[in-house]
Structure 1
Amino acid sequence: MAHKETIYIDLQSHLNRSKSKSYKEMVMKSYTPVMRLSEENNLIEGDFFDENGNLKEDAKVYESNLTENGKKMFWDFMMKWLKYTDRTQKYDNIEMLEKYYLQIKKKHNL
Structure 2
Amino acid sequence: MSESDFTVRSVPMLLSRNKSQEWRDIVLLRSGMLMRFLKTHNLLINVEPFDENGNVKDDLVIKKSHLTDDGLELFKKVIPGWSQYLDKGGDVNNINRLIKGLEKIRNQ
> Which residue identity does 1:73 align to in structure 2?
L
In structure 1, the partner of 2:77 is 76
SS state at 1:88 partner:
coil
In structure 1, the partner of 2:102 is 105
Q: Which runs of 4+ in 1 moved over 4 A?
A: none
Q: TM-score, normalised by structure 1?
A: 0.82
Once the 2 structures are TM-superposed, how far is the Cα of residue 103 of structure 1 from its aligned partner?
Answer: 1.6
| Consecutive unaligned residues in structure 2, runs of 5 or more | none
SS state at 1:9 partner:
strand
Once the 2 structures are TM-superposed, how far is the Cα of residue 89 of structure 1 from its aligned partner?
Answer: 5.0
Asked if 2 retains the 8 angstrom alpha-carbon contact of 1:34 and 1:81, the reply is no
Question: Could you tell me how far apart the structure 1 residues matched to 2:31 and 2:60 are?
Answer: 10
For the aligned residues, what is the CA RMSD? 2.0
| Consecutive unaligned residues in structure 1, runs of 5 or more | none
Once the two structures are superposed, residues 29-52 of structure 1 have per-residue CA deviations (whole angstroms, 9 ceiling, x without a partner) of: 121111111111011231210011
Asked if 2 retains the 8 angstrom alpha-carbon contact of 1:10 and 1:59, the reply is yes
In structure 2, the partner of 1:19 is 19
Instruction: Calculate percent identity across the aligned residue pairs.
Output: 27
- Once the two structures are superposed, the pairs formed by residues 1-110 of structure 1 within 5 Å of their partners are 4-45=4-45, 46-91=47-92, 93=93, 96-97=94-95, 99-108=96-105, 109=107
Aligned residues: 105
> Which residue identity does 2:43 align to in structure 1?
L
Question: Could you tell me how far apart the structure 1 residues matched to 2:24 and 2:90 are?
Answer: 14
Question: Could you tell me how far apart the structure 1 residues matched to 2:103 and 2:31 are?
Answer: 22
Asked if 2 retains the 8 angstrom alpha-carbon contact of 1:8 and 1:63, the reply is yes
Question: Could you tell me how far apart the structure 2 residues matched to 1:40 and 1:24 are?
Answer: 24
- Cα pair distance change 1:27/1:52, threshold 3 Å: same
Question: Could you tell me how far apart the structure 2 residues matched to 1:7 and 1:36 are?
Answer: 18
